[in-house]
Structure 1
Amino acid sequence: MPRIGSRPDLRQMIKRALDTPLFFYNAINGVATTATIDADGIYNYVSQISGLGTWTHVVGSANGTLFFYNANIGEAATATLDPGGNYRYVGSISGFGRWTHITGTSSGSVLFYNAYTGEGATARIDPAGNYHFVSSISGFGSWTHIAQTD
């Protein structure tokens, strides 16, 4: 019978659960790469994804969710990355307004902002990657950058 703590596969599973997935995207050719950085700062390549189309914004949110937006045509999509950096497309979303800034949060919310009009909106992306509109916001003023902090 193995001793407790002597199973390297269990330690590797715990360490892998602490990995941070990363998503790299090239808007010129529609190619992406996924990777992870573990708790020790070690970078690990996972996979390449092609045919993602053209997106002007790509933001991450909670639980490995990704939000893609094309400001030129007002379309969006969502996807997820698991802790191992494996990509899963969820679905497309049409009918978006014009947003100059999009910021994801660690709570799963997404903030949309238009610097020209001062208008904004919020939405949530659930852990499965499904998009849910929450509300419109007016009177933001004029901002050049928006950042989320965790």
Structure 2
Amino acid sequence: METTFVVENTRACRHEKPRKTSVRVLAALCCLVMSTLANTQTGRSPRLAPLGRHAYDASASSCNGNSILFYNADTGEGAIGKVSADGFRTTKTYPPGAFAKAWTHAVRVDALNSILFYKQSTGDAAVGNLMNGEFKTNQTYNNFARGWTNILYAGLHGPGSLPLFYNGANGTGALGFSPSEREYPKGAFASGWTHIVWNDSGILFYNTYDGSGAVAVPFASKPQSPHIVDDIKTTKTFPAGAFSTDWTHVVATGSSVLFYNYADGAGAVGRLTPSSVGGANGFVTDKTYAPKQFAPHWTHAVGAAEGLILFYNSSSGEGAVGQIAGNQFVTSKVYPKDAFAHGFTHLVCAEDPPPTGPPH
């Protein structure tokens, strides 16, 4: 597998003069998210004290559901709710200690609702399902490799799902767990990717420090088993500077990718091209937003069905909901301080399984 990942000279950048827009994603989700779970796929847990501009680096892949799990790694609190264009509604809260503390990652690892909790320093992990407004832990582990920086569902599957594990320090990787379906040795991937997101078109790798990027797609490595998608191939690499630097959040929706800067509120919307399933070999920027066109200091941004994105400020309890439509972002709901509980460190989107009707 070739992996010197880097995206075209159509930048997700802030250098073009943007048109005026009412994208000021001001604030906070109007439901008392009284306890809480939250997700950053790069695994950096936000803290409430002022931090550097990359303290909140996070990525979120495409999700076809509207259930959101909030998690607080410091207290073990959690909450579950539903997001829509009309806003956010909390359906369940969990008190301190309901979840184990100190997970560094909380991420969806299949196409629906399996959520993996992982601790980077120890290799401890737990898997459960968020389904019909409830979270249930199914299994715990103490034997994962340590040091994974990015974990995500990236469209790979065999008999079960094959989430992608990546170590940004040394370029190692793995697909699946317990056991791994495939392992990638040191250097199989380029090192240094800070954000990795997936939607049906493909996988985008991005380095916030130098603006490099890459596009890859899942593929079936065994011709005799075309329905087992068990490897990744690079279709495009982009050199340093092809993207703007300093994006702190990268969020994929079903057809688009949002870039956001926590420090100054700048943003950009683009898409993997072409948009066919598993066919991406490039990236196009559709719209850029100057600093402060988004509110700064969102600590979390997570995508949901129909291009929805939920923003949350862990320090203030503010939130907002918006949607990517027509290749631009439109805010539909904002929430003031304390509308959400403070301190959530991870937000994860999940999809409920389809309803099962009565037998015919």
Per the alignment, residue 330 of structure 2 pairs with 132
- In 2, distance between residues paired with 1:66 and 1:60? 4
Q: Which residue type is aligned with residue 333 of structure 2? A: S
Alpha-carbon distance, 1:28 to partner: 1.2
CA RMSD of aligned residues (A): 1.6
Residue 46 (1) aligns with residue 235 (2): yes
Asked whether the equivalents of residues 79 and 90 of structure 1 are also in contact (C-alpha less than 8 Å), the reply is: yes
| CA shift in 2, pair 1:41/1:129, >3 Å | farther
Alpha-carbon distance, 1:104 to partner: 1.1
| Count of equivalent residues | 130
Asked whether the equivalents of residues 20 and 37 of structure 1 are also in contact (C-alpha less than 8 Å), the reply is: no
- In 1, distance between residues paired with 2:321 and 2:238? 29
Matched residue SS, 1:34: strand
Choose between structure 1 and 2: higher helix proportion.
1
Residue 87 (1) aligns with residue 283 (2): yes
Residue 73 (1) aligns with residue 264 (2): yes
Alpha-carbon distance, 1:115 to partner: 0.6
- TM-score normalised by the chain length of structure 2: 0.34
| CA shift in 2, pair 1:20/1:90, >3 Å | closer
Q: Percent identity?
A: 29
Alpha-carbon distance, 1:41 to partner: 2.4
- TM-score normalised by the chain length of structure 1: 0.79
Q: Point out the structure with max Rg over C-alpha.
A: 2
Q: Which aligned pairs between 1:1-150 and structure 2 lie closer than 5 A?
A: 20-38=201-219, 40-50=229-239, 51=241, 52-54=243-245, 55-63=247-255, 65-81=256-272, 82-83=275-276, 84-85=279-280, 86-94=282-290, 95-97=293-295, 98-126=297-325, 128-138=326-336, 139-142=339-342, 143-150=344-351
Q: Which runs of 5+ in 2 are unaligned?
A: 1-199, 220-226, 352-360
- In 2, distance between residues paired with 1:67 and 1:116? 22
Which segment drifts farther, 68-77 or 133-142? 133-142
Asked whether the equivalents of residues 66 and 129 of structure 1 are also in contact (C-alpha less than 8 Å), the reply is: no
Following TM superposition, where does structure 1 have runs of at least 4 consecutive aligned residues deviating by more than 4 angstroms? none
Choose between structure 1 and 2: higher strand proportion.
1
Matched residue SS, 1:62: coil
- In 1, distance between residues paired with 2:341 and 2:238? 38
Residues 75-99 of structure 1: CA deviation (Å, up to 9, x unaligned): 0000011232231111112321120
Alpha-carbon distance, 1:20 to partner: 4.7
Q: Which runs of 5+ in 1 are unaligned?
A: 1-18
